[in-house]
Chain A
Amino acid sequence: MAKITMTVNGKEHSGEAEGRTLLVDFIRGELGLTGTHVGCDTSQCGACVVHVNGESVKSCSVFAQACDGAQIATIEGVQNNDGTLNVLQAAFQEHHGLQCGFCTPGMVMSASELLKVNAAPSEAEIREWLKGNICRCTGYHNIVKAVQSAAATMAGAAQAAE
């Protein structure tokens, strides 16, 4: 066991982790942040996607100790400061981009990185980017719509700010 410290959603957290402890188990078990889900535990489904130092990763396939000192972002930190849904979350709600919601935290964390690197993705680019996120309910159409809508809203807000 080793004591590790990471900044999760802007707050510093410490806890104990074995060498084999996965980041997702540390986040859920040690820190109690259960918004990050474990779907397949084989790095296929993407329900466990979080950001480590600004990059999306599958937290079931990263060791917690390897993230000692890292900046972690999870779904719990995505909302606006006043507690309302952020643009991407609101777009998922508006466009029915979820049914059971199990995959949604991973979808939102993955899509948010896409919008950071590509502010106006095409439908094909969104589908390509979300290859690592599996949803068994929606058939993806509404998820793609939600991401497109969020991109448009963000572009509009950026234009209004200029």
Chain B
Amino acid sequence: MYAFDLARPADLAGAVATLQTEGAQALGGGQTLIPVLKQRLSQPSVLVDLSGIDSMKGIRRAGEFLIIGGGTTHGTVAGSAEVASSIPAITALASKIGDPQVRNRGTIGGSVANNDPAACYPSAVMALGATVETNKREIAAEEFFQGLYTTSLEEGEIVTAVKFPIPVAATYQKFEQPASRFSLTSVFLAKMGDGSVRVGVTGAGADGVFRHAGLEAALSSDFSAAAVDGVSVDAAMMSNDLHATPEYRAHLVKVMTKRAVAALS
């Protein structure tokens, strides 16, 4: 790692102020950023450790929304009774991220801000139509994710919370790459209160997380595996790497969607 100073602000205002420093970078749980720093792929002057900011931690239900603080760890989400009763699919999602030690450090704010194309959380944020709250504004999911490792966050902007609308039912079906335990192709499927069905896919898209309009339309009118069979998933929009071809990923999108339908039927 290149040398840098580590700042540990105790509150959001302190973090925002320190992030104004030239070359400053926010640090969530560090489970992605620290390995990146070790490879010298990043050279911050100051790392602003957000883990001491208590106002960014915690989980609460507010009417028809579940609000998870940006500094809340995956382990806390996985073990939360509030999450389990409001959106159990998020309990399942959080409990399958990485391993127990990664879950004890990694945070939801860090995950969505990094927008790794194989991360789990973005699929839930997209499928549920969640809102990303920052120190400046509220950003709709569709507007927040802007392609691989890219978001609409501005310089120095911090994800303070993610606000999830509570669905009628939802499920997360993960097909993991067994060595890294990231998603090879995973589907978050939600039945919303207005009768719509929403499908968020992570791990597969060449531009990162996406919703699949064809699957959503088919499942909204006929919630069955047969409806999934009738939908065409275009391999041209899938990513390609040594783990899976675009065609395989396109196939998995349908397989995982069918598993999701079965889980909710």
Q: Which residues of A contact B (CB under 8 A)?
A: 18-20, 22, 41-43, 46, 49, 55-58, 61-63, 65-66, 68, 110, 113-114, 129, 131-133
Contacts and interface: CB of A to CB of B under 8 A. Distances in A.
Interface in B165-184: 181
Interface residues of B, number: 25
A62 B33 CA distance: 10
Contacts of B2: 20
A40 to B, nearest CB: 10
Given A42-B35, A43-B35, A66-B51, A56 B101 contact: yes
Looking at chain A's contact residues, the main secondary structure is mixed
Interface of B: 1-6, 8, 30-31, 34-35, 37-38, 47, 49, 51, 75, 98-102, 104-105, 181
Contact of B102 (A20, A113, A132): A132
Contact of B100 (A22, A62, A110): A110
Closest 10 CB pairs of A and B: A132-B99, A19-B6, A20-B1, A55-B104, A131-B99, A65-B6, A58-B101, A19-B5, A61-B34, A19-B4
Contact of B30 (A41, A62, A110, A133): A62
Contact of A20 (B3, B31, B105): B3
A13 to B, nearest CB: 19
A62 B30 CA distance: 7
A20 B4 contact: yes
A49 B37 CA distance: 20
Contacts, number: 70
A65 B8 contact: yes
Contacts of A46: 99, 101
Contacts of A133: 99
A22 to B, nearest CB: 8
A42 B99 CA distance: 13
Contact of B6 (A49, A56, A66, A131): A66
Contacts of B1: 20
A65 B3 CA distance: 13
Nearest to B37: A20
A110 B100 CA distance: 8
Taking each of A20, A46, A129, which has the highest tally of chain B beta carbons within 10 Å of its own beta carbon? A20
Contacts of A43: 31, 34-35, 101-102
Nearest to A133: B99
Given A43-B31, A66-B8, A66-B51, A19 B100 contact: no
B31 A61 contact: yes
A18 B104 contact: no
A119 to B, nearest CB: 16
Contacts of A129: 100
Nearest to B35: A42
B29 to A, nearest CB: 9
Contact of B101 (A18, A20, A22, A49): A49
B30 A63 contact: yes
Given A20-B37, A43-B35, A62-B30, A132 B6 contact: no
Given A61-B31, A62-B30, A132-B100, A19 B47 contact: yes
A132 B35 CA distance: 15
Contacts of B8: 65-66, 68
A150 to B, nearest CB: 17
Contacts of B49: 63, 65-66
Given A61-B31, A110-B100, A129-B100, A42 B3 contact: no
7 contacts: A18-B3, A43-B34, A57-B101, A61-B31, A65-B6, A66-B6, A132-B102
Contacts of A113: 100
A61 B100 contact: no
A133 B98 CA distance: 11
Given A65-B8, A66-B49, 12 more contacts: A19-B47, A20-B2, A20-B3, A43-B31, A43-B34, A43-B35, A43-B101, A62-B34, A66-B6, A129-B100, A131-B99, A132-B98
